[in-house]
Amino acid sequence: MIRFENVSVTYADADRPALSGVELTVEEGELCLLAGPSGVGKSTLLGAVSGLVPHFTGGRLGGRVTVAGRDTRTHKPRELADVVGTVGQDPLAHFVTDVVEDELAYGMESLGIAPDVMRRRVEETLDLLGLADLRDRPLATLSGGQRQRVAIGSVLTVHPKVLVLDEPTSALDPAAAEEVLAVLQRLVHDLGTTVLLAEHRLERVVQYADRVVLLPGPGEPPVVGDPASVMAV
């Protein structure tokens, strides 16, 4: 579903590449944890999946990244939006509407999805993420875990094959983090969504992961394996 072939990313003014020699395959329907300390290139790698690299962040891309068969060099993020959904650390910074239900519908509007399909998908997503009782709530009044579930829901209504999340639980307490991770695990197992999740606190996520990609240091190639083998490194 996601394939990196000898990928490097170099930012202007940097004295060494942010990523180099990355070979990576993430299979369909897998929850893949991208781990490693701050500054090793996790966000850069996620950006290469969503197409922000090379189209928006100024990083120069070497090698090849394909997502669901689409080459990210020739497809801009907008042209990948029906395939890759992206969720960040701080949902409030990205919300574009004020109310839960509107936020779930928003992502579909620019894709020309018919109104009756939009309505059905909002209902389906409210149920899937346990948000039905909150549909009319102003986003500003939600807890951190509820906000993060709305952020995930707002990209899920598009039915992306791949969900990319950058430290989605870093602002959450352990109970709320577990709530969000359990939702992601359900998406993988029930819908076959492919999830790539970056997190520097390995221990929080590792029990949910099918595979771990560990970036050991800046510019060093990733160590890839099942959770037990990577934990042993």
Q: Which residues bind ligand ADP (CB under 6 A)?
A: 11, 14, 18, 36, 38-44, 57-58, 117, 120-121, 124, 156, 159, 191, 193
| Alpha-carbon span 147 to 124, nearest angstrom | 18
Closer Cβ to ligand ADP, 11 or 106, answer by number: 11
Least distance to ligand ADP, CB of residue 7, Å: 13
Compute the least distance from the CB of residue 40 to ligand ADP, in Å: 4
Closer Cβ to ligand ADP, 126 or 142, answer by number: 126
Query: Minimum Å distance from CB 85 to ligand ADP?
Result: 9
As measured in angstroms, the least distance from the Cβ of 231 to ligand ADP is 19
Phi/psi for 33 (5° steps) reads -95, 125
Query: How many Cβ atoms are within 10 Å of 43's Cβ, its own excluded?
Result: 20
Of residues 140 and 191, the one with the C-beta less far from ligand ADP: 191
Classify residue 87 by its DSSP letter: E
Please classify residue 127 by burial: count the beta carbons closer than 10 Å to its beta carbon, then call 0-12 exposed, 13-18 middle and 19+ buried: exposed
Q: For ligand ADP, give the closer residue by CB, 56 or 141.
A: 56
* 146 neighbors 131 (Cβ within 8 angstroms): yes
H or E stretch including 227? helix 227-231
